[in-house]
């Protein structure tokens, strides 16, 4: 069985994971066997990656478009290689094949893979450093860092239109979310703001 793994760091509004999925299908994985998620590559515990590593059996193959999609941590890459060796599976990263079905990995292959992991981790650290430097520079110039605080004035009219029905019990949160075409977390945020205002009054 050929399994694919796709990962992006930020949400689907900012990054398109479908390009990776198309590449994974070219590498032999089917849609139903592709595990995908939006998580940091440096995060040690990732739900979909953990599921994938538990699902694979001897003789299976894991495909990814590049090492940085699997992980941006050299330590975690070594752990994934150990799992691949223990389960006797193949790792295919782009055009780079790591055959762990045998007792030993070719030393050159093992070294190349770990070197790729080092570069992936170094790239993450450089990006992080640039982001921190940019934020510090913006802060020094008086710019507000992070998301602006949501206020009563930011709440759309459609929420206020249907809020009385929710308050009277004629509508629950799920229905309020649906009619307002707003996500559940957004509904919770708006309710907290409005209810806090009512308590003050």
Q: Give the residue numbers marked as catalytic.
A: 9
Nearest alpha carbon to residue 36 among 51, 48, 28: 48
**Which residues are 6's β-sheet partners?**
36
User: How far apart, in whole angstroms, are the C-alpha atoms of residue 1 and residue 5?
Assistant: 13
Q: Pairing between strand 61-64 and 2-8?
A: parallel
CA distance 73 to 187: 36
Q: How far is CA 106 from CA 84, 93, 110, in A?
A: 14, 16, 6
User: Which residues, in sequence order, are CB contacts of 85 under 8 Å at separation 6+?
Assistant: 100, 105
Rg over CA atoms, the chain? 23
Q: Burial-class residue 189 by CB neighbours within 10 Å (0-12, 13-18, 19+).
A: middle
SS3 for 99? strand
């Amino acid at each position: 069985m050929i399994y694919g793994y796709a990962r992006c760091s930020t949400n689907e509004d900012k990054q398109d994971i479908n390009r990776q999925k198309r590449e994974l299908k070219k590498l032999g994985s089917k849609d139903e066997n592709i595990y995908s998620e939006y998580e940091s590559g440096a995060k040690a515990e990732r739900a979909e990656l953990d599921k994938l590593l538990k699902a694979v059996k001897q003789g299976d193959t894991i495909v990814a478009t590049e090492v940085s999609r699997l992980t941006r941590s050299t330590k975690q890459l070594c752990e994934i290689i150990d799992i691949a060796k223990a389960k006797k599976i193949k790792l295919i990263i782009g055009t780079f094949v790591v055959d762990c079905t045998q007792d030993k990995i070719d030393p050159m292959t093992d070294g190349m893979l770990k070197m790729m992991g080092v570069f992936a981790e170094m790239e993450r650290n450089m990006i992080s450093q640039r982001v921190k430097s940019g934020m510090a520079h913006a802060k020094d110039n008086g710019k507000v860092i992070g998301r602006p605080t949501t206020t009563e004035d930011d709440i759309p009219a459609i929420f206020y239109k249907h809020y009385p029905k929710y308050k009277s019990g004629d509508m629950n949160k799920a229905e309020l979310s649906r009619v307002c075409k707003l996500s559940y977390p957004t509904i919770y945020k708006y309710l907290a703001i409005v209810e806090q205002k009512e308590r003050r009054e």
